[in-house]
Chain A
Amino acid sequence: EAGVTQFPSHSVIEKGQTVTLRCDPISGHDNLYWYRRVMGKEIKFLLHFVKESKQDESGMPNNRFLAERTGGTYSTLKVQPAELEDSGVYFCASSQGRVGRYNEQFFGPGTRLTVL
């Protein structure tokens, strides 16, 4: 079974440009999460989709970040315009939707974003 995949693995852009990150969750996983790790800090939650709906977007830093999950499959995270402090590693994770049970979050390899 394929794991969570993310594209690109690395992106270098200049301040003010736009970048779109993509995440393909494990097939059949209704829950999709975005996290971010800024250098020297812990991995922090950004938002959570249940199928195509945003369940929790409390971690989104500001309105320069836009996440979508059309059709409840893959998700994109767009940063527009990018700022220097957006640099970091963006992780996507997915989990099943089993009610009342522990749902393991499976993580992708991350996209390393560098804003110059």
Chain B
Amino acid sequence: QKEVEQDPGPLSVPEGAIVSLNCTYSNSAFQYFMWYRQYSRKGPELLMYTYSSGNKEDGRFTAQVDKSSKYISLFIRDSQPSDSATYLCAMSDETLYNFNKFYFGSGTKLNVKP
């Protein structure tokens, strides 16, 4: 069983739509939950991270973590064509030094049509 499961898509939506991206995981030790965005031929770029459960909002982006269900989400409001990319969830557990390796989902490819 994979540590992190993510629907690969592709997901195609019209401009202005609300996008919902999700991941599930199996390791209850995970405490940090990240969303990365990756454009073609580029490296992953951090969008936001959340520690433990709860919500976090940054502009048009909202991250949610439900540790009881081992389920995380990223919502994108008022989606733009420039949001078209692959979105990767990543997770890590917490140790004293927090320099831990990340476990990634396989990524969801998003296409926002003008």
- Choose the segment among A12-20, A79-87, A92-100 that binds chain B (4+ C-beta atoms closer than 8 Å): A92-100
**Contact of B98 with A42 in the complex, beta carbons under 8 Å:** no
The answer to whether B104 and A43 have CB atoms under 8 Å apart is yes
CB distance from A73 to the nearest CB of B (A): 17
B66 within 8 A of A: no
> Is residue B101 contacting chain A, with contact meaning CB distance below 8 A?
yes
A59 at the interface (CB under 8 A from B): yes
Complex Cα–Cα for A45 and B88 (A):
14
Q: Check if B42 is an interface residue, CB within 8 A of chain A.
A: yes
Any A CB within 8 A of the CB of B46: yes
- The answer to whether B43 and A91 touch across the interface, beta carbons within 8 angstroms, is yes
Closest to B46 in A: A104
Asked if A74 is at the interface of the complex by the 8 Å CB criterion, the answer is: no
A59-B43 contact, Cβ under 8 Å, with A41-B106, A100-B96: no
Q: Known interface pairs A42-B2, A95-B99, A99-B96. Does A107 touch B43 (Cβ–Cβ under 8 Å)?
A: yes
Neighbouring B residues of A59 by C-beta, 8 Å: 101
How far is B6's CA from A108's CA once the two chains are assembled, in angstroms? 23
Query: Cβ of B104: which chain A residues have Cβ within 8 Å of it?
Result: 35, 42-44
A100 touches B98 (CB 8 A): yes
Q: Which residue of A lies closest to B4 (CB)?
A: A42
* With contact pairs A42-B4, A45-B103, A101-B98 given, residues A91 and B32 touching in the complex (Cβ less than 8 Å): no
Within 8 A of A (CB), among B39-78: 41-46, 49, 51
> Closest CB-CB distance, A31 to chain B, in whole Å?
5
B residues near A (Cβ < 8 Å) are 2, 4, 6, 32, 36, 41-46, 49, 51, 88, 90, 96-99, 101-107
List 12 additional A-B contacts (Cβ < 8 Å) besides A45-B103, A48-B99, A110-B43: A44-B104, A55-B99, A56-B101, A91-B44, A95-B99, A99-B96, A100-B97, A101-B98, A104-B49, A105-B46, A105-B102, A109-B42
Residue pairs across A and B with Cβ atoms less than 8 A apart, 9 shown, are A4-B43, A42-B6, A42-B106, A42-B107, A43-B104, A48-B101, A105-B46, A106-B46, A109-B42
